[in-house]
Amino acid sequence: MNPDPQRWAGAAELMKAFARRTGLAPDGPQVRYLWTDAFAVCNLLALARGSGDGSYQELAMRLVDRVHRTLGRHRSDDERTGWLSGLGEAEGALHPTRGGLRIGKRLTERGPAEPFDEALEWERDGQYLHYLTKWMQALDQVSRFTGDPRFNVWARELAETAFAAFTRRRPGMVRPELAWKMSIDLSRPLVSRAGQHDALDGYVTCAQLRATSTELGSWRSGPSLDEALTGFRDLLDPDGWETTDPLGLGGLFADAGRVSQLLRRDFPEPELLAALLGAGCSGLRRYAARGGPGGLADRRLAFRELGLAIGLDALGIIRTGARWVPGGTARLQALLEQIDDLVTLAERIRSFWLLPAHRATRTWMEHQDINEVMLATSLLPDGFLRLSPLGAAAPA
């Protein structure tokens, strides 16, 4: 799909500014944040595919390396050094995701003896499962784009590590639960209760990684993810998926979009698409009934709204994927019709945040990197939402 030239140019401008600010181009001190960087990799691949300009692909590869060498290692203000995995320098470079990846927060993690402070915890480092799944998805897109299975293997190694570390079994519990936030070395939970979509993200992402490894013919290299796939599936809680949080809603639609593409690749649970779409549609109507996005720019969190705009762009993918659901086309169409009048929210959100005055506010500037990268994603959503065609790299 050829993007609108104005949207393409806007995304390119945003990504070039991000690269300059965060030390990618030119090479400088690294300002790395895992969530933002995952979306940035997908944006750069989309720019490379849309333009045939290999410099965007080069930036994406450089970003992957910088993330691994920054967030895959201990902080500079930590007495611990080296790779989070504990592997030696050479071995760690070959398996940079084996110890997980830090979030990239400003403050170091809370120590074992320090009291919990909910407000302060948001500023402290550690590892988030839902950030790790976004990086797995970005790595997988790199493998699909370049045809190089190494990135998919790194994603599967990260998935295996994450599932083992974040799955916690407390005394008296029938089944394990997922921690929401773990320490940098994955030895202890920092926030025990997981987000409502963490297991879902883990399950869909593991299915995507397996599908890619099969298509690349590299499934014998790296973890099979049998345990992680089964474990995440057993932790799915469809009753807990509905939300009115715009970022969470966007995530539901984005996951539904991925499932719709995986259905033609022997996805093990075809009924999941309708369940995801049902939760998303119900939550979206409730969100709209409460007023939806609105108010002054300095009282809004752009990246959360932009997450919804990105997710709504997956609805076209879902419509196409409905044909792969046995007997499910009519049901999915009925669900989509429930929110036909709300799809314009995506353009409304994008248009609002494209206005320079709205990007000059304190709340925008406090989160500039994540806001601008997700605005770029909303302009070129296919880079994040669509599974990249195998070997789609820009010509050398």
Which residues, at least 6 apart from 339, have a Cβ–Cβ distance to it below 8 Å? 281, 284, 285, 315
Q: What is the pLDDT of residues 262-271, one digit of tens each?
A: 998 878 888 8
Report if residue 216 sits inside a domain. Answer: yes
pLDDT of residue 133: 98
pLDDT of residue 395: 47
Is residue 165 within a helix (H) or strand (E), and if so which, with residue range? helix 150-166
pLDDT of residue 330: 80
pTM: predicted TM-score of the whole model, two decimal places: 0.96
Report if residue 356 sits inside a domain. Answer: no
Read off the amino acid at residue 163. Answer: F
At 219, the pLDDT band (50, 70, 90 cuts) reads confident
DSSP code for 136: H
- Share above pLDDT 70 across residues of the chain, in percent, rounded to a whole number: 97
Rounded Cα distance between 96 and 83, Å, is 7
At 150, the pLDDT band (50, 70, 90 cuts) reads very high
Number of H-type helices and E-type strands within the chain:
18, 5
Report if residue 301 sits inside a domain. Answer: no
Rounded Cα distance between 290 and 308, Å, is 15
Mean pLDDT calculated for residue range 51-71 = 96
Q: Are 133 and 199 in contact (CB under 8 A)?
A: no
Which residues, at least 6 apart from 76, have a Cβ–Cβ distance to it below 8 Å? none
- What DSSP string describes 170-214? -TT-SS-EE-SEE-TTSSSEEE-SPPTTHHHHHHHHHHHHHHHHH
Report if residue 152 sits inside a domain. Answer: yes
pLDDT of residue 170: 72
3-state secondary structure of 294: coil
Closest CA to 284 of 240, 334, 345: 345
Report if residue 137 sits inside a domain. Answer: yes
Does residue 189 register a pLDDT over 80? yes
Mean pLDDT calculated for residue range 293-308 = 96
Mean pLDDT calculated for residue range 147-171 = 94
pLDDT of residue 396: 42
Report if residue 130 sits inside a domain. Answer: yes
Q: What is the pLDDT of residues 17-46, one digit of tens each?
A: 999 999 999 889 999 999 999 999 999 999
What count of Cα atoms within 13 Å lies in the side-chain half-sphere of residue 66?
Answer: 25
Q: Are 166 and 182 in contact (CB under 8 A)?
A: yes
Q: Quote the domain boundaries for residue 167.
A: 98-236
**Domain count of the chain?**
1
Q: Are 336 and 315 in contact (CB under 8 A)?
A: yes
Q: Are 197 and 241 in contact (CB under 8 A)?
A: yes
Q: What is the pLDDT of residues 89-130, one digit of tens each?
A: 999 999 999 999 999 999 999 999 999 999 999 999 999 999
Q: In 330-390, where do the E strands start and end?
A: none
Closest CA to 85 of 160, 151, 153: 160
Report if residue 192 sits inside a domain. Answer: yes
Report if residue 280 sits inside a domain. Answer: no
